[in-house]
Every structure is written in C-alpha cells, then in structure tokens.
C-alpha cells in the first residue's frame, strides 16, 4: 500500500533533515537537503522530499495495509514535534489509488 502526504511549509528541508537524522539512530536512513528515505523494516518505509514548485514537504509511505494508519500517525506526530517551534503543520494524506488530493494553502 502507498500513502502520500503533503504539508505546506517554508521549512520543509529543515524538517526533512531533522526527522531523518532522528530516525537514523534506530533505522537505516539516507538523506540530504531535498530528499530522504527511512526503512522501518522490510515491509515499510517512508520517503520524504521537498517539492521544487512550492514550499512543501512531500511524504510517501509504503507499508502493509494493516499497519498503514499507525505508520501515518507515527510519521505525522514526529514531523509535528520537529516543527513544533514554528507552529502546527496541516497534512493532507491520500491513498495512492484514491485519486488526486487537493492541498490547502497553509503556512505555519
């Protein structure tokens, strides 16, 4: 199963790097200023990227369907903790086969 998420923010690169650095203490992680990947286990991973056309943090979760809701909550909660000093982020999540999502204009 694949789930995509987006949060509009002017600090996407910083949040991506901090989250990947935090998770790299427990899981294999690779990242730079514009993209990152964390492999939680053999069946679930998260990929993050900074969108080039807008100020946004894009997230792709790949996991088994039975763990999807929990992984989505864990990832969003961690990014919210990283972003906390700047204010709450508004995430829009969409299952890959659910069609395109509409993203609200919101900057913390």
What are the pLDDT digits (tens) for 64-79? 888 889 999 999 999 9
The alpha carbon torsion through 78, 28, 34, 21 (nearest 10 deg) reads 50
Domains of the chain: 2-98 (3.30.310.50)
| Whole-angstrom distance, CA of residue 63 vs CA of residue 87 | 28
What pTM, to 2 d.p., does this model score? 0.81
Low-confidence ranges of the chain (pLDDT < 70): 51-53, 97-108
Please name the residues in contact with 33: beta carbons below 8 A apart, sequence gap of 6 or more.
13, 16, 17, 50
């Amino acid at each position: 199963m694949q789930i995509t998420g987006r949060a509009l923010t002017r600090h996407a690169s910083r949040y991506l790097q901090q989250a990947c650095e935090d998770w790299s203490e427990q899981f294999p992680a690779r990242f730079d200023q514009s993209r990152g990947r964390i492999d939680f286990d053999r069946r679930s991973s998260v990929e993050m990227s900074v969108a080039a056309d807008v100020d946004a943090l894009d997230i792709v979760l790949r996991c088994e369907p039975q763990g999807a809701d929990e992984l989505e909550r864990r990832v969003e909660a961690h990014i919210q903790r990283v972003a906390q000093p700047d204010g709450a982020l508004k995430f829009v999540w969409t299952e890959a086969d659910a069609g395109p999502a509409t993203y609200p204009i919101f900057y913390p």
